[in-house]
Structure 1
Amino acid sequence: MTIHELYAYLCVRDARAAIDFYTRAFGARELFRLTEPSGRVGHAEMDFGGHTLMLSEEYPELGVRSPEGLGASPVTLHLHVDDADALIARVVAAGGTLNRAPQDHFYGERSGTVRDPFGHRWLIGHAIESVTPEEMQRRYTALFSAASVGQA
């Protein structure tokens, strides 16, 4: 078996508002949408610079709930971009909420976290250095060793 593609498929309460937000915040472009006669959006696809994001509205009768319907989201979408600081500022200006300001991290990335108005969490980052897995582990271990010293 060969996997050809992997798509993020989000559930939102208001697909029209989400499509508008993702267009303004991320510069995404709507490819198409399928709308029921009732007005509920059953499926939409958006182009994020050559990467497809799919979304639909809630279908509680099928167990399909949005973060708003669940009261939380266990999933984070991670975008690698040219300038994390600029995109995070753009997302916040469009109505997103800043959860963690951009900062440099031990794993060679500058990143921060925002939440969109529909409850989805986005980790937005860009590379600042190339770090091997072994070096990442060394830094990770040191980070937690230093944290445990501070708790003593």
Structure 2
Amino acid sequence: MTNTSAVSGQGPRLGIQLVMKNAMAALKFYTEVLGAQELFRLVEPSGRLGHAELSLGGVTLAIADEYPELDILGPQSRGGATSLLNLSVDDVDGLAQRAIAAGAILERPITDEFYGDRVAHLRDPFGHRWALSKRLEHLSPEELQRRFQQLVGG
């Protein structure tokens, strides 16, 4: 494994890789619905997607098909997602509707949250959870804490 800080001089960098069933369909969903740009893909002769990289929201997102023989499984095989991807967008409602029309499931109503964002919580057709968000208010940590305590009854 390469030490990124030694290569880039910028310190550690986090990379995101999503594993799922039917990664080729996911590649299409992420590019056509979420606006990702495909950088490249590596496809086995069988058609299984070994690795693809997409540019989305200023981050490189890697995706791949499951490799059950190596215990590399996605949320559909594991019984649900264990993470949430937060994507900042200009039009939460519009993008959420496009995602739903393409097979995503709205997990809770689109709303303006206490922390100052408009948010749509979705599960994509491949089992990954997304929060599409747009900042409506810039709040101080003190105001965030006050609103949070009010929300949870503290």
Number of the residue aligned with 2:143: 135
Matches within 5 A, 1:3-152: 3=12, 5-145=13-153
Q: Which amino acid aligns with 2:130?
A: W
Identity %: 48
**C-alpha distance in structure 2 between counterparts of 1:62 and 1:133, whole Å:** 43
| TM score, norm. by length of structure 2 | 0.88
Return 5+ residue gaps in structure 1 as ranges: 147-152
| TM score, norm. by length of structure 1 | 0.89
CA RMSD across the alignment: 1.4
Stretches of 4+ moved more than 2 A in 1? Answer: none
Whether the aligned pair in 2 keeps the contact of 1:84 and 1:112 (CA below 8 Å) is: yes
**C-alpha distance in structure 2 between counterparts of 1:116 and 1:52, whole Å:** 18
**C-alpha distance in structure 2 between counterparts of 1:51 and 1:93, whole Å:** 25
**C-alpha distance in structure 1 between counterparts of 2:96 and 2:78, whole Å:** 25
**C-alpha distance in structure 2 between counterparts of 1:94 and 1:11, whole Å:** 19
Whether the aligned pair in 2 keeps the contact of 1:24 and 1:94 (CA below 8 Å) is: no
Return 5+ residue gaps in structure 2 as ranges: 6-10
Deviations 1:49-99 (A, max 9, x none): 542210011111222101111111111100111121111111112211111
